[in-house]
Structure 1
Amino acid sequence: MQALRRKTLAKAIQLSMLIALPGVVAAQEAESSQATTLDSVRVTGTRIKKAEIESQVPVQTLSREDIDRTGLTSLGDIVQSLTGAGSALNTKFNSSGNFGFSPNGDGVGAGSAQVDLRHLGPKRVLVLVDGVRWVNESSASGVGAATDLNTIPLALVERIEVLEDGASSLYGSDAIAGVVNIITRRNFEGGQVTVNAGQYGEGDGDLGSVDVAWGTSTERANFFVGASYVNQDPIFSKTREQSRYPTPGTGLTFGSSATPNGRFVFLPGTPSSACPAVDLDDDPSTPDVPFCNITTPNGSSFNPTPSYPNDFIGFRTANRFNFAEYNMLLTPSERTGVFGQFRYYFNDNVHAYAKALFNRRESTNQAAPEPIFLGGDAGTGNPYADGIFIPATQMYNPFGIDLDSSSNLILIGRRPVEGGPRRFEQQVDTQYFAAGMEGSFDAGEKTWFWDVNVAASKNEAEQTNYGSYNIRNIALALGDTDTSGATCATTPGCVPLNIFGGPGTITPEMLAWIQPVVRDRSEQTLQLATANISGDLFEMWAGPLSFAAGLEHRRYEGEYTPDPINYVTMTRPDGSTVVESHYNGVPSLPTSGDYDVNEAYVEFNVPLMRDGVFGKSLDLSLAGRYSDYSTFGGQFTPKFGLRWQVADELLLRATYAEGFRAPSIGELYGSASRADLQLDDPCLIGLDGSAPTGNTANCRALGVPAGASQSNSQISVTTGGNPDLQPETARSFTAGMVFSPAFASDASWSERLDIELTFYRHALDGAVQAIDAQTQLNLCVETLDPLYCDGITRAPNVGSINSFNNRLTNLGSIKTDGWDFDVFWTLPESALGNFKLAWQNTFVGRYEAVGAAGQVQPRGVGVEVTDSAIPEWTSNTSLEWSKNAWTASWTMRHIDELEEECGDAVSFPVCSNPAEGTNTLEAITYHDVQVGYRFDWMKGLQLAVGAKNVFDKDPPICLSCSLNGYDASTYDIPGGRYFYLRADLRF
């Protein structure tokens, strides 16, 4: 066994010398004093266990030291800080409430942390743990298509390898944009306790974490166990100037029309001081009509109801509701995880392993008290709200007339602050078990390596929602009848509702009738079995022909079960039944589905030249994978690569790969789900009073009267799955070089200098998506084409949208390309200490997305849209220093400037380019610092103090972002200087 270890150690040393990135060398070091075995040298981007292969593809490695230097405690936050990473969910997204369902039908993983590479989306990145794929998230709002990195405790991580290249031929579906491979700790001797404590400069957002690790080895076995606990406290939007209002610099203009005092828009029949006669249709030949757009005075409370018209005033911008102060900038997250693995060596050639993990995440999102919108202009899509009828005899109705959505009632908006904010509490449990055997055997003079593996993993999520309402009970409490013919007087427990008074007039008894506790749950499971073999087939003129092959079987199951309030079966008076939603919030239907896949792959490394006139070596890699899905059939994906070692100093490489992504369970089987999106209706007067931008004649043809105004910018859009979806397909190309000049090696000014340049290009076809809602609405108004207008309906008389439906299709496409440029410089040791400099850059040259109806999507290079950004240039620079027991680092994170549409905020000074209708988000550079000292106590005590965003820079104001006035996936929290202390004890 020791002979085998000596042999494999030599291979590991050879590997580390060939790697261009110096950080990989540290990543390969074992934590024990024993020699590194071959099975610990995993190579992301190839299945062949051969050293030369690794440098054929661009792999970025984050060692344990790199991870510690970030001061972060979430894998998602760490990976999202890479220059090639795009916008993805994290704990800075307060992503429940109106964000409970994404427009692609797979739910929003509230409280999760995802990874996006090359701006192609988190569902197009494959996440592996020790080379085996990880189960997708359970979001409690659907069946997700992405991986939640918060389900993987940081304590078990040895290093992170990120392959920014298409890899479906090696790993199967989802690896279009790249692969993130989490390598776990294994050869670990002794124990380690790591404690982190941090706080933001404003005295909030406290974070505490404890990681415990212990391992031991014998002659025949090694064992490792780790546990992790992280507790992140929230930060509320109201504590920062930038996030105190819905849109910074615009006051209450974009506040909600659903207020604690209520907004009431209707046609009273007779004019009054509060409801004068107005010309609604701008036609002088028709008579003016009495029109109410009124509210009760701010701060007033009436018992039991106000007097009409004396207690009412006209509704103005100053009467809108500031919902932003209830939001969170940083959502609380508590994570507890335990991981262990055991390996037993039967002999020098065969060993077995077993791994197990359990992780629990408890997180919370919070939104403002849930609004109640009633009337023809409510736009909820629910007949209990949109078709409400409130009789004049309802005991709290102050207007003395029937309020009927089909005739005179346009809108009632009431924010019942008495019921408190909406709180969405998630509990996500992750279970993982894997076992297998690995070994080697000699065939002649060649050594072959094999492994067989099985794994079973499950994500279970439960979300409990406090603060939502039962719209059917509201309708009953207002005196309406439902499909069963019931009324409040005939329904046990029904309490008449006072929706017309000011704050405090909705009593606890009323709340008990209309406010339920809503519980949703979802689950995803993944079961897999793999078998792999790798070795040298035979000798060729330039070396051995290396080979790897394998088989894999996977089975996916997923389900989403919303609270029964979402889908209630009602019996009509005629005896027929109907399924209807009683949920006032964002409704959804159950989802359930499963599928399996069988795959086979083969990979070759063909040496074409060694020590010839054209250089040191030239290798060709070939790979192909065939996947047979139970949902859509077979798919073959090839990959080709060239690695040309021109000289010891210069390596050239290129790859071409075809990839695919199979539709997820949510995309295939997801029932219709609703997302409340911020949309500007081009046929209506804007919230700021701006004129409609749509074609006037077309708007009239769509049923929009002249002078109609948009009262609410949140439009409910319903999107559902499609079982006929086909896989997305992609083509990826990379080409680059690694240059390590001899003049910079072992010189007086440089110990080593590595320069890496990579060009990448991805082309994605058949992207699964629905038509972008804003684009679909604009095209409907522009063309009146049924392709765009079908599914969009408008309320009679007022012209506002009251339903918006679309479906997932395979018609989207994305093309993107760019460059990575990295420099790594290690200086010689001197009296000042040791210095290392790393400068990593990503330049995006092109990003073009075409939507499901063939229209160009708004996302692009240098553009901020839909809470996400694609900066043209992102850069990370770090300077490390060490001397004796001291260490220090300085890191700079640069984000290039962006541009966004000002929208309805164009008339405000905060819009930097009003003439063009755009706002510039200026470039920003964050500075982070860390200083550490190592004490010789036990096996070592390392103390480190650090600060992130040292100069307390606020992110640029984002006018198009949905919450908090900034892009949470791109920038740090406003007022976000963060201090932390870490203690690491080894024993």
Structure 2
Amino acid sequence: MTSLSLRPHRLTHAVRISLLCLLPAVALAQESPPASPARTLDAIQVTGTRIKKAELETQVPVQVLTREAIDRTGYSSVADVVQHLTASGASLSTKLNSSGNFGFPPDGGGVGAGAATVDLRHLGPKRVLVLVDGIRWVNESSGSGVGSSVDLNTIPLALVDRIEVLEDGASSIYGSDAIAGVVNIITRKNADGGHVEVQYGDYNLKGGDTSSVDFSFGRSGERAQWIVGGAWFKQKEISSAEYEWARVPVPGTGLANGSSATPGGRTVFAPADGNNTYGGLCPLARDADGNPIPGSATCNITLPNDASFAGGARFPDDFIRFGTANRFNFAPYNLLLTPNERKSVFGQVRFEFTPTLSGWARGLYSERDSANQAAPEPIFLGTDAGVYNEWAETKLVIAANNPYNPFGFDLSTMGANPNLFLLGRRPVEGGPRRYEQEVKTWYAAAGLDGTFEVNQRTWNWDINAMTSESKATQTNTGSYNIKHINQALGDPAACAAIAGCVPLNLFGGPGTITPEMLAWISPIVRDRSKNTLSQASANLTGELFDNWAGAVSFAAGAEWRRYKGEYHPDPITIAGEYNGVPSGATIGSYSVKEAYVEFDVPLAREGFWGKSLDLSIAGRYSDYSTFGGTNTGKLGLRWQPADELLLRMSFAQGFRAPSIGELYGTLSRFDATIVDPCNNAASTTPKCVADGVPPGYEQANPQISVVTSGNRALEPEESRSFMAGAVWSPGWAEDSGWASKLDLGVTFYRHTIGKAIQAPDAQAIMDRCIDSRDPVACASYTRNDRGQIIRFEDILANLGTINTSGWDFSAHWLLPETGWGQLGFDWKATWVTRYELVNESGQAEPKGPGVETNDSAIPEWSSTLAANWDLGNWNASWTLRYIDRLRESCAGANGFDICTDSANDLHWLGATTYHDAQLSWRTEAWMKGVKVSLGVNNVFDKNPPICLSCTLNGYDPGTYDLPGRYTYARLSLDF
């Protein structure tokens, strides 16, 4: 390693450490290349370049999470490890109970229930490329759509040797999806015997205990290496009712944000006599001057809380006017932590046929059983229901002679003058909705690699092929058939003519829907989805020639991939009979052919420019069957002016091809929580009058059904990334009285994404229409003559621009070894200075640094400080994880005491610091080694700050830890 002639060991170590945003309890333990100049180093490849060479330092920062560092976290999944990096954003995990009213996300990928993904730089999981040993991994299969990101739960932690994370654009190196960066999971390949690891952990809440067992066995010989293994993990659920702030829809607001679909039923209708107010129970509407409008009587009624009339309620005697106190608290039915059980087996073998030719093969099979839960499914009927279902909105007649109709006349949504505006009933008799997923993933890959000589230079080559599949089945219980509900509410004679149909009581209060009624309206809903990926590639790398400063290296290759995805909803969903989230089938595929070339050109050695100056150049051409060809390029500089200092920078173009769900996803619905700016008193403002809102308008339900779908005309997203950084290892700190070594690092990053594929935030659309009468925003939704939103469309398009930038900081301080052991500190921090998402109208969406919105946040500062102590067989670590304070809209909590700044519609989420600790002991006196570890994450039982705008459980699970202290014990055996 001639370029680092004076202190190769120290600076190499510094480069790898200083740009590593460490996860909790990380104390780096990377192997440094040998410092002896007499030894020829083997050519290796690191994430971020295809060129194999002895020097590991590249023009881009690569984080390396070693196995030792991973073990210190106490985590049991790959997702938990990478989601705790300071540069990671909110993404799917078992802390997110993502079914129920979440429905379909706007990207057409399904909710990914039970999956776990990774988000870098807050750009979204679909803009992160996940590799396993440098080869792409199949996208997740959610059972509710065609996913566009990898489920990290399909990769067992027992298989992992280390994780390399590149937080820089790398489309010219790896192709599509690598806009925000790359996560490359390097698997274990060398083994000499067996390894068993058992772990048990528990929260101090009720439930949530986790158990895992990992096993591997292998041998390494002169020509052959093989390893086989298996892993089992089980995590139990925790009910939302176990956490104080998750017991209400929005903390501190009581039932103000509860559901209008209640066990007692809420009915909004026009009585047969439009002037009969039934003693004030059904008042007349009033004009702008406050005068009653003749013939406009409207009933908005319910039964008293907990009232039950099995024989049938009487109108008007048994009813009261509907108010906030009658709303339904759905929150306790949700889950704080979802159950998740994973089983996997894996194996790989490598054989050296000759000194210059080797072959390898590996395979994996995994199964996941998981579940999500939501409150009993609401039934919404009427012209104001907004559920996009004709059986509920336009074809319903609740017959006057239905034995449970208390009004004595037909309630109808049909014809020119319908009189049923809204009927919301929560059938608690049917229990909560339960969504159970069964996911099966298999993966098989094989390849050949070798070397040959060209002009006395060694060139490396490899060819490989891979095929994989992930398929899921989701079974939903606790939902309803809206067509059967319609039939059961109609003429009893017509119902009697249908086998199995019995009249349905929606007006009697809780407990009055009988088992026979439930049997008619309660189906078991089964949805299926599948993703497959096939890939083949060939690569060549080596040194071309020597120029004035050294050897010019290159890498070149070609790759072919084919993606297939499909989603098949239950037949009753396709037929439009499902009461829940409607959706259509999605089937699509595409293929891509690519070629790339990369050069590493030394520009200077040992002269005016210092120790070394190197230039890297990369380019890639991709030809997609869906949209044609595209080019990307990358430039990088690496300058070492002195032994102690390394400077580097890069500029990269990137792209992301539209996913199958984004291209081919059919019409589906996403239930968004939207606060109508024109609700109640605001209805008479000029802006609301211009939007078609009548005086006295009251939003019927904060959950608004938003229709979304894929778009075959989508074009690829385009990106530009810039990175500049420095690593400094001052010589005066090495082997001093206070330090064995000191490494400092800083990196600036900037990402710009154009043609971003997105559906704008529904709340932002409505706010923009009301505030500015933006024609694009106002065309997205429709109100009826009562002011209720009955249609909201949010179709995917290339309409956004994302700009983000910030800084990464690092410091590694290792103290001198003493009789008390050796102590080291690692500090990693990310400072997000800018995040701006510009919509199709050129206006910024609410997401930004220091802001909590849409159940996710971008803290301005995120930081970890880890202390690690070694003494003989003992190791102890203590880690502090810091999340900066956030601000959010008070949303429905404005005016309540819990909103910290009601005057400015702001609520502040205070800065949060978590403490993690672990103590371990290892001995080789038994077998080949025994290690016992005890740890506590969130030592001081810190609860997450209360979030008023979050839709579930009163906090943001993508940003903060689960409430409660997590304690675990682990036993590892080598034999």
State the TM-score, normalizing by the size of structure 2.
0.95
CA distance in 2, matches of 1:868, 1:853: 23
SS at match of 1:342: strand
Instruction: Report deviation, 1:234.
Output: 0.6
Q: 2:196: which partner in 1?
A: 193
**Pairs within 5 Å for 1:425-824:** 425-479=436-490, 487-568=494-575, 581-685=576-680, 691-692=681-682, 696-796=685-785, 798-824=786-812
Aligned residues of 1:125 and 1:179 also touching (Cα < 8 A): yes
SS of aligned partner of 1:205: coil
Q: Which secondary structure state, in structure 2, belongs to the residue aligned with residue 982 of structure 1?
A: strand
2:284 matched to which residue of 1?
Answer: 278
Question: Can you give the 5+ residue segments of structure 2 that lack an aligned partner in the other structure?
Answer: 1-7, 21-26, 34-38
Q: Of the two structures, which has the highest relative contact order with CA contacts closer than 8 Å and spacing of 6 or more?
A: 2
The separation in 2 between residues aligned to 1:37 and 1:154, in whole angstroms, is: 33
Q: Which residue of 2 aligns with 1:315?
A: 322
Cα separation, 2, equivalents of 1:398 and 1:14:
84
The CA distance in 2 between the partners of 1:865 and 1:882, in whole Å, is 42
How far apart are 1:789 and its partner, in Å? 2.8
Of 175, 178, 193, the match for 2:178: 175
| CA deviation string 1:173-195 (max 9, x = no partner) | 00000000000000111111111
Residues 909, 945 of structure 2: 8 Å contact kept: yes
Query: Secondary structure, in 3 states, of the residue corresponding to 1:737?
Result: strand
Cα distance in 2 for partners of 1:20, 1:308 equals: 75
Matched residues in 2 for 1:695 and 1:524: separation?
51
Counterpart position of 1:688? none
1:264 to 1:274, Cα distance in 2 relative to 1, 3 A: farther
Amino acid at match of 2:291: P
CA distance in 1, matches of 2:588, 2:605: 52
| CA distance in structure 1 between the aligned counterparts of 2:881 and 2:196, rounded to whole angstroms | 29
DSSP 3-state at the match of 2:518: helix
What does residue 952 of structure 1 align with? Answer: 941
Give secondary structure in 2 for the equivalent of 1:52: coil
The match for 2:921 among 924, 927, 933 is 933
C-alpha contact (below 8 Å) 1:274/1:292 kept by paired residues: no
Specify the alignment match of 2:23 in structure 1: none
Supply the AA of the counterpart residue of 2:645: L
Corresponding position of 2:187: 184
In structure 1, what residue type is equivalent to 2:540? I
Question: Structure 2: which amino acid aligns with 1:295?
Answer: T
Distance 2:296 2:120 in 1: 57
SS at match of 1:705: coil
Secondary structure of the corresponding residue to residue 915 of structure 1: helix
DSSP 3-state at the match of 2:932: strand
Q: 5 Å matches for 1:101-250?
A: 101-250=104-253
* Cα displacement (A) at 1:598: 0.4
Is the partner of 1:942 in helix, strand or coil? strand
1:290, distance to aligned residue in structure 2 (A): 3.4
Counterpart-to-counterpart distance in 2, 1:285 and 1:489: 44
SS of 2:168's equivalent in the other structure is coil
Amino acid at match of 1:426: Q
Contact 2:401 2:491 in 1 (8 A): no
Show CA shifts across 1:484-503 (max 9, x none).
Answer: xx942332221110111111
Distance 1:453 1:695 in 2: 67
Shift of 1:445: 2.2
1:477 match: secondary structure: helix
Q: Do the aligned partners of 1:809 and 1:852 also contact (CA within 8 Å) in 2?
A: no
Letter of the 1:600 counterpart: A
Aligned position for 1:893? 881
Contact 1:947 1:977 in 2 (8 A): yes
- Provide Cα deviations, 1:908-930, integer angstroms capped at 9, x if missing partner: 01100111110000001000000
Q: Aligned with 2:88: secondary structure?
A: coil
Q: Report the 3-state secondary structure (helix = DSSP H, G, I; strand = E; otherwise coil) of the residue aligned with 2:57.
A: helix
Shift of 1:27: 4.2
Cα distance between partner residues in 1 of 2:286 and 2:298: 8
Helix, strand or coil for the counterpart of 1:257? Answer: coil
Q: Match of 2:405? A: 397
Give yes or no for the alignment of 1:376 onto 2:383: yes
Offset at residue 646 of structure 1 (A): 1.0
Question: Contact 1:770 / 1:852 at 8 angstroms: preserved in 2?
Answer: no
Q: Distance in 1 between matches of 2:277 and 2:585?
A: 48
Preserved contact between residue 439 and residue 449 of structure 1 (Cα < 8 Å): yes
| CA–CA distance in structure 1, aligned partners of residues 475 and 279 of structure 2 | 46
1:683-738, Cα deviation, whole Å (9 max, x unpaired): 222xxxxx32x783453344321101012100000111111111000000000101
Do residues 306 (structure 1) and 313 (structure 2) align? yes
Q: Given that residues 42 and 53 in structure 2 are in contact (C-alpha distance below 8 angstroms), is that contact kept between their aligned partners in structure 1? A: no
Q: Note closer, same or farther for the CA distance 1:368–1:969 as it changes in structure 2 (3 Å cut).
A: same
AA partner of residue 861 (structure 1)? P
Residue matched to 1:914: 902
Misfit runs of 4+, over 6 Å: 12-15, 22-25, 36-40
SS of aligned partner of 1:807: coil
**Structure 1 residues 781-790 or 442-451, which shifts more?**
781-790
Q: Does 1:61 align with 2:53?
A: no
* Number of residue equivalences: 947
After TM superposition, give the deviation of residue 881 of structure 1 in Å. 0.7
Kept after mapping to 1: 8 A contact 2:333/2:373? yes
- Conserved? CA contact 1:373–1:414, under 8 Å: yes
Say whether the 8 Å CA contact 1:811–1:854 is kept in structure 2: no
- State percent identity of aligned pairs: 58
Match of 1:21 among 3, 17, 23: 17
CA distance in 1, matches of 2:722, 2:144: 36
**CA–CA separation in structure 2 for the residues paired with 1:49 and 1:609:** 20
Superposed CA offset, 1:810-855 (max 9, x none): 1100001000000111122111111121100000011111123332
- CA-atom RMSD, angstroms? 2.0
Rounded Cα–Cα distance in structure 2 between residues aligned with 1:810 and 1:533: 36
What TM-score do you get using the length of structure 1 for normalisation? 0.94
Moved more, 644-653 or 827-836: 827-836
Provide the C-alpha distance between the structure 1 equivalents of 2:604 and 2:940, rounded to a whole number of angstroms.
53
Deviates more, 1:780-789 or 1:676-685: 780-789
Instruction: Report the 3-state secondary structure (helix = DSSP H, G, I; strand = E; otherwise coil) of the residue aligned with 2:354.
Output: coil
CA distance in 1, matches of 2:175, 2:296: 65
Counterpart of 2:421 in structure 1 is: 410
- Cα distance, 1:214 vs structure 2: 1.1
Cα deviation code 1:25-62 (max 9, x no counterpart): 844599xxxxx998894300000112335332111111
Q: Partner amino acid for 1:120?
A: L
Residues 772 and 851, structure 1, Cα contact 8 Å, conserved in 2:
no
Letter paired with 2:104 = F
Task: State the match for 1:81 in structure 2.
Answer: 84
Q: Deviations along 1:788-823, whole A, 9 cap, x unmatched?
A: 233422233x21011111211111000010000001
